[in-house]
Chain A
Amino acid sequence: MEKLIEKYYRPRLPHIWCPGCGNGIVTSSIVKAIDKLGLDQDKTVIVSGIGCSSRASGYLDFDTVHSLHGRALPVATGIKLADPELNVIVITGDGDGTAIGGNHFIHTARRNINLTVILFNNNIYGMTGGQFSPLTPTASKATTAPYGTLERAFDIAELAKAAGATYVARGTAFQSKMLVDVIAEGISHDGFSLVEAVTQCPIYFGRQNKKGDASAMLKTQRDNAVTVEAAKKMTPEQLEGKFTIGVLHKSEAPEYTKQYQGVIDRAQKGAK
Chain B
Amino acid sequence: MAIKTIGKHCKGCGVCVTFCPKQVLGLDALGKITVLDETKCITCKQCEMRCPDYAIFVEKK
Contact = CB atoms under 8 A, between A and B. Distances in A.
B13 interface: yes
Contacts of A218: 15, 18-19, 50
A25 B56 CA distance: 13
A13 interface: yes
Given A20-B11, A20-B15, A214-B15, A13 B52 contact: no
B11 A5 contact: no
A17 B54 CA distance: 12
B43 to A, nearest CB: 13
A215 B20 CA distance: 11
Interface residues of B, number: 19
B52 A20 contact: yes
B28 to A, nearest CB: 15
A90 B4 CA distance: 32
Contact of B8 (A14, A21, A213): A14
A19 B57 contact: no
Interface in A212-244: 213-215, 218
Interface string B5-38: 0001101111100110000000000000000000
A111 to B, nearest CB: 34
Contacts, number: 58
Given A13-B9, A14-B8, A1 B54 contact: yes
B44 interface: no
A2 interface: yes
A176 interface: yes
A214 B13 contact: yes
A2 B59 CA distance: 10
A20 B48 CA distance: 14
23 contacts: A1-B48, A1-B54, A2-B4, A13-B53, A13-B54, A14-B8, A18-B11, A19-B12, A19-B13, A20-B15, A24-B51, A24-B53, A24-B54, A25-B50, A25-B52, A213-B13, A213-B14, A214-B15, A215-B13, A215-B14, A218-B15, A218-B18, A218-B50
Interface of B: 4, 8-9, 11-15, 18-19, 48-55, 57
